[in-house]
Amino acid sequence: MLFKQQALLRQKLFVLGSLAIGSVLYLVARVGTLDRLQPICPIESRLPPPEPEQIPLRTLQFKRGLLHELRKGNATKEQIRLHNLVQQLPRAIIIGVRKGGTRALLEMLNLHPAVVKASQEIHFFDNDQNYARGIDWYRGKMPFSFPHQITIEKSPAYFITEEVPERIFKMNSSIKLLIIVREPTTRAVSDYTQVLEGKERKNKTYHKFEKLAIDTSTCEVNTKYKAVRTSIYTKHLERWLKYFPVEQFHIVDGDRLITDPLPELQLVERFLNLPSRISQYNLYFNATRGFYCLRFNIVFNKCLAGSKGRIHPEVDPSVVTKLQKFFHPFNQKFYQITGRTFNWP
């Protein structure tokens, strides 16, 4: 009986020992396997790769501060040389449309640390006298920037001036072109309102919008009136398409830029191949002004000039309807060409 108990105990110990040795061998083999796998597929390699050619945000903010000092005249020639600052020809131009929101678009894009804006409208390509001064004169009107940054200028008259497409093409046939549009009748009234305000400041009289927009002899829309003619977007765009493919244009919804700017700005970032940097933090609604203002950082905010967002005069509803019907077929063609549709009447 004792012999059987001892034999059974030895058997149990043997089994337990085998299990222990097996567990140790498994762990050794497992660790060895992990060691062998680690160099092949490190944890870091499974993370999405960083976006190419991105500059750290703090670096870009520092550079923006330096450019701000330069614009104020506080940067020295040594700083310009040391930081490799240059005056670059624009790689993108906001070519129009007048009263579509070109200033708002430019200022909002300037929130992006990789964008530098020309503060004033240069009017190089639409002004014969300026154009005759040559490309070096034009470059000299550009702001200083870092080589990785994109310079953008805006001159809304470019869109409607006949000579401009060819002149820009000769400078840079691959340039990116931004067009911001609003509902054509609203844009025409806004155009009239700006001119009216200028006349009133000079104590000059001015016709009512209805008299200018409608030909009194025929009771039809007056296409000789510049505010009406500018709103026929497709007529002007067709002239540009003789020189540039449609892929080099990006259409911005000016009405949406007023009410919900961030999605429009993100579309422009993608069009310009910029990393996404503009966020909701940079845009805040100013209830007093009735539109969005810009937040560059914790201390620097900016709203557009008080002249933006003028109150439009009341226009005879029958004239508004006549204009909307007039613009409708041109709008349909514009949608077809650009591939972007708007809810215009």
Fold of 85-338: Rossmann fold (3.40.50)
pLDDT > 80? residue 327:
yes
DSSP 246: G
pLDDT > 60? residue 330:
yes
* Ligand-binding site membership of 99 (annotated): yes
Tell me the pLDDT of the chain averaged across its residues: 83
Task: List pLDDT tens digits, range 291-316.
Answer: 899 998 877 888 887 656 678 899 99
pLDDT > 60? residue 22:
no
Measure the CA–CA gap between 257 and 259, rounded to whole angstroms. Answer: 6
Q: Which of 63, 99, 154, 176 is catalytic?
A: 99
Kindly state the average pLDDT of the residues 134-140.
97
Residue 278 contacts residue 261 (beta carbons within 8 Å): no
Indicate if 170 belongs to the active site. no
- Give me the residue spans of the domains in the chain: 85-338
Task: List pLDDT tens digits, range 89-128.
Answer: 999 999 999 999 999 999 999 999 999 999 899 999 999 9
* Ligand-binding site membership of 289 (annotated): no
Per-residue model confidence (pLDDT) at position 33: 38
* Ligand-binding site membership of 101 (annotated): yes
Q: What is the pTM of this model?
A: 0.78
**For the chain, percent of residues with pLDDT exceeding 90:** 66
pLDDT > 60? residue 149:
yes
* Ligand-binding site membership of 308 (annotated): yes
